[in-house]
């Protein structure tokens, strides 16, 4: 399958869109969970239209895997656009405690308006949305203190929408269904593949590894030196860097050529396992308007 053909599951997408449209009027806010390593590629741009001007909170998840300086810039970027933002590592739970406070700060005018109508302590409802593998269930489990596996993970169990209480006056609507980002820009598919959000068996491993080397050579050359003992020189591209790394590792095939296929798998595995360090694969704009 080609990277630009990855907009699968149109049926699931339609169902999810219908569900969002049906529920949105009952929501006080929408929480969008993004992968801090690819904050734009892990967004679904249709949300702006689907969520119809509701207050939005952005959870930059996986901060433990992202470049910290970039995460701060991305947080500023989203704040400048009117979103509340929290930085989270849902796996360890770091940052999760800020969620309830951030929602209440975002909705303070709404809370005041409810109170003016005599609805003191009215439950706030927040719809949680995110693309697959972004960490949505991990986040929901941590923020609600829930331990159980999600029903959809068990074969044969169909899961409907679920209300998940965070505290006495805050509830999450956990939305089932598939919400992919747009794949019209093939770069989006490539970045999702780098992070492992798209399964490897649908993508050419070597093509992907070459693209990743290209990016690392441009933005993180010191990391390549440290991990693979290679130097990035003028004129190097992803393929030449992959060759250099494979040669250093001694991955050779008959005739002394580098086994680039093997090096490709190693690079992707090590990158995803965090062995190369923390990375952000989309650079935040320098100046935030
Ligand atoms: P989803 O509902 O959005 O599809 O994603 P889910 O929560 O199932 O998370 C997918 C994988 O990402 C899980 O790993 C989860 O532990 C991991 N994850 C989620 N948030 C974070 C984070 O902030 N940092 C890091 N490093 N990992 C995160 P898994 O390998 O599938 O499961 P497990 O081995 O961790 O149990």
Report pLDDT digits (tens) over 187-222.
Answer: 888 888 888 887 666 678 999 999 999 999 999 999
| Best probe residue, ligand 1, of 9, 86, 89, 91 (max atoms within 8 Å of C-beta) | 91
| Best probe residue, ligand 1, of 135, 269, 271, 273 (max atoms within 8 Å of C-beta) | 135
Of ligand 1's atoms, which has the minimum distance to the CA of residue 274?
26
pTM of the model: 0.88
Which pLDDT does position 1 carry in this prediction?
Answer: 43
Tell how far the Cα of 252 is from the centroid of ligand 1, in angstroms.
35
Tell how far the Cα of 204 is from the centroid of ligand 1, in angstroms.
24
pLDDT digits (tens, 9 = 90+) for 162-171: 889 999 999 9
Tell how far the Cα of 91 is from the centroid of ligand 1, in angstroms.
6
Residues 6+ apart with CB under 8 A from 50: 17, 20, 21, 24
> Does 121 sit in the ligand 1 pocket, CB within 6 Å?
no
> Does 51 sit in the ligand 1 pocket, CB within 6 Å?
no
Helices (H), 44-197: 47-50, 68-80, 98-106, 108-116, 136-144, 186-195
**Residues 58/73, Cβ–Cβ less than 8 Å:** no
First to last CA, the chain: 38
Tell how far the Cα of 134 is from the centroid of ligand 1, in angstroms.
7
- Torsion, Cα of 175, 180, 181, 183 (10° steps): -170
Which pLDDT does position 178 carry in this prediction?
Answer: 65
pLDDT by 10-residue block (mean), the chain, 289 residues: 47 77 94 95 86 93 95 96 96 97 97 96 94 91 74 50 91 78 76 81 85 94 96 97 97 94 96 92 75
* CATH numbers and ranges of domains, the chain: 6-174 (3.40.50.300), 204-288 (1.10.1580.10)
- List the structure tokens of 25: 């009027």
Of ligand 1's atoms, which has the minimum distance to the CA of residue 62?
23
Which pLDDT does position 4 carry in this prediction?
Answer: 44
Q: Order of strands, edge to edge, in the sheet holding 29-35?
A: 84-87, 56-61, 29-35, 124-129, 170-174, 162-167
């Amino acid at each position: 399958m080609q990277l630009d053909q990855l907009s699968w599951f149109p049926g699931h997408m339609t169902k999810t869109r219908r569900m969002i449209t049906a529920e949105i009027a009952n929501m006080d806010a929408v929480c969008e969970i993004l992968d801090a390593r690819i904050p734009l590629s892990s967004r679904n741009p249709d949300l702006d239209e689907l969520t119809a001007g509701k207050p939005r909170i952005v959870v930059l998840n996986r901060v433990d895997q992202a470049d910290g300086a970039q995460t701060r810039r991305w947080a500023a970027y989203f704040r400048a656009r009117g979103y509340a933002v929290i930085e989270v590592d849902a796996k360890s739970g770091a940052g999760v405690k800020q969620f309830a406070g951030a929602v209440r700060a975002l909705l303070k005018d709404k809370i005041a308006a409810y109170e003016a109508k005599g609805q003191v302590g009215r439950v706030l409802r927040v719809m949680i949305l995110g693309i697959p593998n972004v960490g949505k269930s991990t986040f929901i489990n941590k923020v609600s203190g829930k331990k159980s596996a999600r029903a959809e993970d068990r074969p044969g169990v169909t899961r409907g929408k679920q209300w998940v209480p965070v505290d006495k006056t805050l509830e999450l609507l956990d939305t089932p269904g598939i919400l992919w980002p747009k794949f019209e820009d093939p770069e989006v598919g490539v970045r999702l593949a780098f992070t492992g959000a798209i399964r490897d068996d649908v993508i050419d491993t070597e093509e992907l590894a070459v693209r990743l080397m290209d990016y690392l050579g441009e933005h993180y050359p010191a990391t390549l030196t440290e991990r693979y003992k290679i130097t990035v020189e003028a004129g190097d591209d992803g393929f030449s860097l992959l060759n250099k790394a494979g040669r250093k590792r001694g991955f050779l095939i008959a005739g002394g050529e580098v086994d680039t296929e093997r090096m490709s798998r190693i690079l992707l595995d090590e990158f995803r396992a965090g062995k190369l360090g923390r990375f952000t694969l989309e650079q935040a704009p320098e100046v935030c308007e």
